Structure 1
Amino acid sequence: MSDEHKQDQNNDENLYKAYMMKTKNDIHTSPSLSEEEQKEIIKVGSNTARNATVMISLAILLLILPLMTLITYLYYGIGGKANTMIDVVGKTIYVTEPNVSLEEMEIESEIGLFSMNVNFDTFKRIGSEDYLAEKVDVYFGLDKPKFPEKISFLEQLPPMGYGIDVVKDGQKMYHPDAGVPFNMSDEWDVLKGLPDGTVAEAYLSFSELMKPNEIEKALPKEMEIRWLAVDTGLEAKQMDKEGVPITPIGYPAQVDSTTWSPFDGDQTNEEVFLDILKLLEKNEQTAEIVSKIKSLEIKERREYVEDKGILIYGAVVTGPVPELRKLEQMKVVRAIKVGEVKLWNWK
């Protein structure tokens, strides 16, 4: 190896050693962070990460909520599901609650997230006027209803709750072959004790089954027949096959010319009644919850009526109290239950 080459090698080694020494000095002389400063850096990093997570989550929610709302509207809108539910609710009222009507044009629906609330008022005819009976709110989680929330404006408050006891407590009309579980003379005494200048609602139980067109001929003229209770083959037993009390079902006695009523005269009331039973048969769970009735047995009762025809065992009437008292002398009236009473308003 030449002297010149050795000299170059020595120069390279000296440069390398000088560079390494400078690097070590730089490391020892570079500024270091205190423990508090290091904690602050970690804290800032943690907050930044958390804020980023929150913002990402909010962005996802802002994207998902409109999508979920759209899905809800499509669920209730496609195929008219919302209209079907409202239709079932309204028609259930007509055939399970005697002398009760509603204004379908006033039914309000509010769609929430995978839910819908249906709100409406019901009315009772006492004398010649319709009085507010209840404000009703029915909540649907998708197509599953919950027990309705009701505010009653009646003097005789309806039984509260849902099930067998409610049916028993609310029973006011009885089949000719079924026992009457109250003292009938007591109810006639109630009617006799009311002032002459009042009008009242009365629930009649007949001593025999009658055809619808025979009812008006059998009762005094100075009263209005509001609702007819139909014999469906179960009322005489008063129980269904599982031992659950059977409640009356029926329909309004008169044509209602208002545009929102299903009993508007386009078909006979009997035909409309049977059509409603077919609708409720497909939506029986909803009808049972809306009507507070544990067992409707729609299919069995519909088939019986279609086979035997419509026969009436009870009715709701309203009119002046002095006229209602005359019913005591009529053999066709087996029992009476006095309903709502109002000051004179007769036509």
Structure 2
Amino acid sequence: MSNEHDDEEWDRNLIARLKETDKRNQGSPTLLPEDVQTRILKKGKRKNRVFIVLVSLSTLFLVVLLLISYIYSNSLFVTRWFQPNTQAALRITSDVIQFTKPGVTASSFSGKNSFISWTYTFELNELVGREQQRVGTFQDNFIFSKLTGKFNWKDGQHRTPFNFHYPGGTYPEGSDINSIGWNILQKLPEGTVAQLAISLARPMTHDDYYKLIKKYDVTTVWLAIDTGIEKELATRNPVLGNGLVFGYAPDALNYGENGSGSFTIEVNGEGERRAQTFMNELQYLIEHPKWTNTLLSSIQVEPQVRGVTLEQRYSYLEKNGIKIYGAVLTGPTKELLKLQEEKEMNSPFVGTIDWWNWDQQNASGIEYSY
């Protein structure tokens, strides 16, 4: 308060002195005394400092306000109102991938959210022998509740060697698909494991299939299911592969009642339980059409099946039962080669090959980074 009073008094004196100086120097430029100039400069600097402080405080206040608004709006609009149902998103994505990608399953995932979006990233794996090998990732991107999905394959590409010959379909003239797979397995050394897609001579129930396969030391990774459109597809395609096949990975399903809990199932057998669980998962996807259809449209881009709905497949299976016409297997290469003697199996397609890991000892002597 004192400084303001002094400034006002000084200003009045300055005006009086300027008038007096003006009278004495009429007709010549008016020069301010040195002490006056100094006082004016100091006053200007002081006001400039005050202005800078006020601007800085205003800017800081605005930044804090924006930060608080961001945190609040993120919590309010995304977390409280538009956050996707995490369990539903994970279940739907996992099902759609395993139903449409032979041998590929979505395992662990990570999630993060930003201002108005959520992202879930799934690791994609294939079983080769006893080991899960990562083949890429899949991203669910939610902006509010709108979903988009995208594959990010390892090294930018994914090899899809699994093809199936539908029972009764014709082979292209001069085709050697009934022998080339067996020839590859014969040339592989005994200390290796491999993936193998095989086709069946007739559609089989779960019980029929597992009764046939249990004689061999192999693992069933994926089952190709007849959903009512495959017979027609086979008239235009000698083999059905990626984009045309539909099935499921037995070990990726949850066999708990109503999807609650994660319960195991016998290595072979329990056909009725497997069939019912598969139907339950189809029904679950049908009950969530928005997300399911979005993912299907981004994954299943083959024009020949784009118009086929899950309701059509479900209705056919409910009426005709679940029949298997092919499978993806993994195991020791020489054990897989034994399947050549089965008249019920044909059209082998060899997938990834790796060194022996079928009965490895428990890992020991491993050093980890912490």
Kept in 2, the 8 Å contact 1:176–1:313? The answer is: yes
State whether structure 2 residue 302 is matched by structure 1 residue 274.
no
Contact kept in structure 2, 1:203 and 1:317, CA below 8 Å: yes
Identity of aligned residues (%): 20
Matched, 1:315 2:312: no
The number of residues matched between the two structures is 303
Deviations 1:35-73 (A, max 9, x none): xx9x99999999789767745642441232012211211
Q: What secondary structure is seen at the aligned counterpart in 1 of 2:85?
A: helix
Per the alignment, residue 218 of structure 1 pairs with 212
User: Are the structure 2 counterparts of residues 214 and 137 from structure 1 closer, same or farther at C-alpha, using a change threshold of 3 Å?
Assistant: closer
Whether the 8 Å contact between 2:222 and 2:248 is mirrored in structure 1 is: yes
- Report whether the alignment pairs 1:248 with 2:245: yes
**TM-score in terms of structure 2 length:** 0.66
How far the C-alpha of 1:321 sits from its partner, in A, is 1.7
Alpha-carbon distance change, 114 to 26 in structure 1, aligned in 2, over 3 angstroms: same
Q: Secondary structure at the match of 2:231?
A: coil
Equivalent in 144, 148, 173 of residue 145 of structure 1: 148
Q: 1:49 to 1:137 in 2, by over 3 A?
A: farther
Deviation at 1:92, TM superposition (A): 2.3
Separation in structure 2 between the aligned mates of residue 258 and residue 235 of structure 1, nearest angstrom? 27
For residue 174 of structure 1, the aligned residue among 160, 165, 172 is 165
Matches of 2:315 and 2:155 in 1, distance apart?
A: 34
- Could you tell me how far apart the structure 1 residues matched to 2:88 and 2:253 are? 21
User: Per the alignment, do residues 87 and 257 of structure 1 end up closer, same or farther by CA in structure 2, a change over 3 Å counting?
Assistant: closer
Deviations 1:206-251 (A, max 9, x none): 2221111111233472223232111001122339xxxxx8532222
CA distance in 2, matches of 1:54, 1:274: 60
Contact kept? 1:95, 1:273, Cα under 8 Å: no
1:312 CA drift (Å): 0.8
Q: Is the 8 Å Cα contact of residues 92 and 290 (structure 1) preserved in structure 2?
A: no
Residue 102 of structure 1: how far off its partner (Å): 4.6
Instruction: Report the 3-state secondary structure (helix = DSSP H, G, I; strand = E; otherwise coil) of the residue aligned with 1:147.
Output: strand
Q: Which amino acid aligns with 2:163?
A: K
Q: How far apart, CA to CA, are the structure 2 residues paired with 1:286 and 1:257?
A: 23
| Aligned partner of residue 204 in structure 1, secondary structure | strand
Deviation at 1:170, TM superposition (A): 5.9
Cross-structure match for 1:186: 180
Provide the C-alpha distance between the structure 2 equivalents of 1:252 and 1:25, rounded to a whole number of angstroms.
Answer: 98
Deviation at 1:108?
A: 2.2
Question: Aligned pair in 2 of structure 1 residues 196, 261: CA closer, same or farther (>3 Å)?
Answer: farther
Partner of 1:229: 224
Q: Deviations over 1:122-156 (max 9, x none)?
A: 333323x1222234241413331231334369xxx
Question: Which residue number corresponds to residue 24 of structure 2?
Answer: none
Which stretch has the larger CA shift, 271-280 or 247-256? Answer: 247-256
Residue 89 (structure 1) aligned to one of 88, 93, 108 = 93
For the residue of structure 2 that corresponds to 1:208, the secondary structure is strand
Match of 1:345 among 337, 343, 357: 357
TM-superposed CA distance for 1:96, in Å, is 2.6
Does 2:71 match 1:66? Answer: yes
Deviates more, 1:262-271 or 1:181-190: 262-271
Deviation, structure 1 residue 198: 1.7
Q: Against the structure 1 CA distance between its residues 246 and 340, is the aligned structure 2 distance closer, same or farther, given a 3 Å change threshold?
A: closer
Query: Deviation of residue 191 (structure 1)?
Result: 1.8
Aligned match of 2:120 = 118
Which 5+ residue runs of structure 2 have no aligned equivalent?
1-14, 22-31, 235-241, 360-370
CA drift of 1:203 comes to 0.5
Aligned twin of 1:264: 264
Residues 105 and 252 in structure 2, CA contact (< 8 A), matched pair in contact too: no
Q: Is 1:331 aligned to 2:327, yes or no? A: no
Contact 1:255 1:264 in 2 (8 A): no
CA contact (8 A) 1:263 1:269 kept: no
RMSD, aligned CA: 4.1
Distance in 1 separating the partners of 2:90 and 2:232: 32
Q: Secondary structure of the equivalent of 1:122? A: strand
CA–CA distance in 2 between the matches of 1:234 and 1:201? 26
| Distance apart, 1:279 and its partner CA | 2.5
Q: Is the 8 A contact 1:256 1:264 kept in 2?
A: no
Whose radius of gyration is greater, 1 or 2?
Answer: 1
Residue pair 1:148, 1:290 contacting (<8 A) in 2 also: no
Query: What is the deviation of 1:115?
Result: 1.6
